[in-house]
Structure 1
Amino acid sequence: MKKLSFLLFALIGLISLNSCTEDDPFTFEAKPDPEGLAFTSTVADNYNLTASNAENLAERFVWNPVDFDVQTPITYELQGSTTQDFMNFDVIGTSSESNIGVTIAQMMSLASDAGLDNDPTTEDMPNTGTIYFRVRAYIGTDGGNAVQEVSDIISVNVTLPEEEEENTDLPKIYVTGSFGAASGYGADWNPEAGVPLAASAVGETDYEGFIYMNVDAPEYKFLPQNDGWDGDYGDAGEENGAYTGVLLQDGEVNAGTPDGTGGYFWVKADTEALTYSLTETNWGVIGNATPTGWDSDTDMTYDAENKIWTLTLDLTAQEAPDNGIKFRANDGWDINIGDSGADGTMEFGGDNIGVPEDGNYTITLDLSNPRMYTYTLTKN
């Protein structure tokens, strides 16, 4: 009798288990941290945003880790907005860590979206205002995951200094390496002797400039500022001197040149896209004001001490923009510079440069000031 009762009890248990499996499926629900997601760092009373320091770190926002009670990794997304309702926002960055740094350039971009301005002649636009940040945590790496938590909102007061020169002071990064002493820039691997590259505008990250690397196998790095090594960029390759065209900040190696040799390079770097490129250039003058006309260049010589290209040449009078001279690199038209508007500053693909009268001229081309390239025609 006892044996029969035990079998009956086991059968009832089996039926109950089977019923639960089929009719009451178990649904997992992630549980957010009961304390909630919140910033643990404090912000300054006000941030003065200047274009010359655009790549510097403005603030590193820190928050408490969130526990969703799952083994899946958690992603944190820092958002910035010009309004407290966050109807529109920019994603500043994502991380698996509980902190993300914000650069001055990123704050300036939000300030611009908020209608702030640093031009004292613009009366209808303030130069001081407030921007807002919050952090969103979600399970996994898919930003559309519905299992998420959003933090409180933190407000940040910002000021664009009322200095007119800030409008023309383009953001810069700097290049230093093994070429400095041999190329007329100062000591090797010295941040203070770094060669500047300039962005196209405030808030942009497309830096460019020209650098002379007068050593056999140059190596170098890109610096956000010229007073130290914090945040330096190198190449994503495996050994020093690599040239992959990909920038890396952690675990990087010294960057090299495309063929491993020196030269005078047009250097571009994008710190958002994390790309860079070097194009070797040798400059000449072409045009119907020169002895060889539009058929061929007359080569210029680089003066490392004064950081200019020079040439002395007989020119004939020609009127711009239809006639005159132009500067071009590598005996081709892919890279050429002219002077649209005849104002002494140069533009890629710009107009021909006129020659006022026949004579022997000393011609200079100065590419040492990034994005502010100039030339001179001096009659001897």
Structure 2
Amino acid sequence: MKTINQYIFVMLSFFLLVSCNNDGDTAVLSGFGAGELKASVTDIVLTNELNGNLVLSLAWNTAEPVVSPSDKYGTAADLVTNILQFSTESNFATIKEFTETNSAKSFIGSALNSLALNMGAKAGQPITLYARLKSVLGGNVEPEYSNVVSLNITPFEKAFYLYMPKANNYTDFSNKLCSREGDGKYEGYVEAAQWDNFKFSTEASMTTGTVFGSAPNSLYSLDSSSDQWNIWFDEGGYFLVKANTNTLTWSKTAITSFCVTGEFNGWSLSDDPMTYDSTTKKWSVTCNISTVLYGIQIIGNQNWDFKYGDNDATGELSAGESIAIAQTGVYTITMDLSDPTKYTYTITKN
């Protein structure tokens, strides 16, 4: 660490500056100066898997002010306030501050992700945050600032999961639901066999987070107490599973079909059914789309209230929308509902 070379001498006022002993000594403060700030890393790509991991440490050294004569007055280090500042601008025109009592600050993934998003970053896009240490010694002394550290951070859209480990060993956390809004309402698509037993867990672990089973004698009521039972599927198949940790309930809807419909097949709910592949976890169908007016939609369970589309042509499905088709032709349409954070599709012209 860099040695503080410059000392600023000030007379103590208020509780700090002016003080004389019986022998006429004058108390003088020295050693107050700028600190040096260092970062453990400067380029950080955040992911949901790093939520609980340590991803950044900022450490600094600051001078320890001494009141002379030190044999009578000792040090005044506790009179210095250190404030860690962050800004998206190198001139620190706008800042976010953390008052620190230690000589370091650490961030886990979720905390740094929240900081970046709160300061205007967009998920998946890198942002530069500038960090510096502001040291303050009373209102009558100008603050000192450390060097500036530039941090390149790529945040992510945080996903809140509810995992579904099977009861045979509670170690398989591959099935999970997602709360995209973080509001305690979760959903996801799951393939299950009849009498598959499982529980819900807020972490990919049975020893951390909250584990929900079913309430005794009430299959669709969630219970986090020690009295909980396993949850199970009383039928096998492919399901849209929803859970609400606010109302402590869950539900399943058996999916009997997905079909592609549009003007090309008279808006039929059965003429172009999709086929599910358990290995790839994808639905697919090949259609001869002879007219492209109004686009197409993907309909579940032959129910118009259960439809997906993509008005913005992002490749991500949204409820109640349509998918535009540029020209007529034979297309293979594939839908992937295996990732509860987003449902996706592809359209390939044959």
**Band of TM-score, shorter chain:** 0.5 to 0.7
Residue 346 of structure 2 corresponds to: 376
- The one-character-per-residue Cα deviations of 1:71-127 (angstroms, maximum 9, x if unpaired) are xxxxxxxxxxxxxxxxxxxxxxxxxxxxxxxxx99x97xx88xx6777674979x9x
Percent identity, aligned pairs only? Answer: 27
Residue 331 of structure 2 corresponds to: 361
Residue 196 of structure 1 corresponds to: 176
- The one-character-per-residue Cα deviations of 1:203-252 (angstroms, maximum 9, x if unpaired) are 53222211111x1222211122224444453333326xx52233434321
Give the alignment partner of residue 48 of structure 2, picking from 29, 40, 52: 52
Give the alignment partner of residue 246 of structure 1, picking from 207, 222, 225: 222
- Contact 2:262 2:297 survives alignment (8 Å): no
Q: Match for 1:168: what amino acid? A: E
Describe the shift of the 1:234–1:176 C-alpha distance in structure 2 as closer, same or farther (beyond 3 A): same
- The one-character-per-residue Cα deviations of 1:19-66 (angstroms, maximum 9, x if unpaired) are xxxxxxxxxxxxxxxxxxxxxxxxxxxxxxx8837997xxxxxxxxxx
- Contact 2:212 2:223 survives alignment (8 Å): yes
Residue 345 of structure 1 corresponds to: 316
- Contact 1:283 1:300 survives alignment (8 Å): yes
- Contact 1:235 1:244 survives alignment (8 Å): no
Write out aligned runs for 1:14-163 (5 A).
Answer: 52=48, 121=127, 163=153
Residue 294 of structure 1 corresponds to: 267
- Contact 2:128 2:153 survives alignment (8 Å): no
- Contact 2:259 2:302 survives alignment (8 Å): no
Describe the shift of the 1:51–1:361 C-alpha distance in structure 2 as closer, same or farther (beyond 3 A): closer
State how far apart, in whole Å, the 2-side matches of 1:243 and 1:310 are: 33
Describe the shift of the 1:224–1:55 C-alpha distance in structure 2 as closer, same or farther (beyond 3 A): farther
State how far apart, in whole Å, the 1-side matches of 2:226 and 2:264 are: 51
Describe the shift of the 1:117–1:254 C-alpha distance in structure 2 as closer, same or farther (beyond 3 A): farther
State how far apart, in whole Å, the 1-side matches of 2:249 and 2:49 are: 21
Q: Alpha-carbon deviation of 1:360? A: 2.5
Q: Alpha-carbon deviation of 1:296? A: 2.3
Residue 41 of structure 1 corresponds to: none
Describe the shift of the 1:246–1:189 C-alpha distance in structure 2 as closer, same or farther (beyond 3 A): same
Q: Hey, which of these two has a bigger chunk of strand by percent?
A: 2
The TM-score normalised by the length of structure 2 is 0.55
Residue 184 of structure 2 corresponds to: 205
Describe the shift of the 1:324–1:266 C-alpha distance in structure 2 as closer, same or farther (beyond 3 A): same
Q: Any gaps of 5 or more consecutive residues in structure 1?
A: 1-49, 57-103, 129-160, 179-187
Q: Match for 2:195: what amino acid? A: A
State how far apart, in whole Å, the 2-side matches of 1:275 and 1:285 are: 29
Is 1:282 aligned to residue 256 of structure 2?
Answer: yes
Q: Match for 1:333: what amino acid? A: W
- Contact 2:166 2:199 survives alignment (8 Å): yes
State how far apart, in whole Å, the 2-side matches of 1:371 and 1:311 are: 23
Q: Alpha-carbon deviation of 1:192? A: 4.2
Describe the shift of the 1:378–1:116 C-alpha distance in structure 2 as closer, same or farther (beyond 3 A): closer
Residue 273 of structure 1 corresponds to: 247
Q: Any gaps of 5 or more consecutive residues in structure 2?
A: 1-45, 53-107, 134-150
Residue 278 of structure 2 corresponds to: 304
**SS at structure 2 position matched to 1:176:** coil
Q: Hey, which of these two has a bigger chunk of helix by percent?
A: 1
**SS at structure 1 position matched to 2:180:** coil
Describe the shift of the 1:162–1:205 C-alpha distance in structure 2 as closer, same or farther (beyond 3 A): farther
Describe the shift of the 1:354–1:238 C-alpha distance in structure 2 as closer, same or farther (beyond 3 A): same
Q: Match for 1:294: what amino acid? A: W
- Contact 2:309 2:319 survives alignment (8 Å): yes
Is 1:173 aligned to residue 162 of structure 2?
Answer: yes
State how far apart, in whole Å, the 2-side matches of 1:256 and 1:281 are: 17
Q: Match for 2:203: what amino acid? A: Q
State how far apart, in whole Å, the 1-side matches of 2:215 and 2:349 are: 49
- The one-character-per-residue Cα deviations of 1:117-139 (angstroms, maximum 9, x if unpaired) are 77674979x9x9xxxxxxxxxxx
Describe the shift of the 1:163–1:237 C-alpha distance in structure 2 as closer, same or farther (beyond 3 A): same
Write out aligned runs for 1:214-253 (5 A).
Answer: 215-238=193-216, 243-253=219-229
- What do you get for the CA RMSD once the two structures are aligned? 4.0
Q: Match for 1:370: what amino acid? A: P
State how far apart, in whole Å, the 2-side matches of 1:246 and 1:231 are: 15
State how far apart, in whole Å, the 1-side matches of 2:309 and 2:210 are: 34
Q: Alpha-carbon deviation of 1:176? A: 2.0
Describe the shift of the 1:55–1:247 C-alpha distance in structure 2 as closer, same or farther (beyond 3 A): farther
Give the number of aligned pairs.
232
Describe the shift of the 1:341–1:228 C-alpha distance in structure 2 as closer, same or farther (beyond 3 A): same
- Contact 2:129 2:153 survives alignment (8 Å): no
**SS at structure 2 position matched to 1:226:** coil
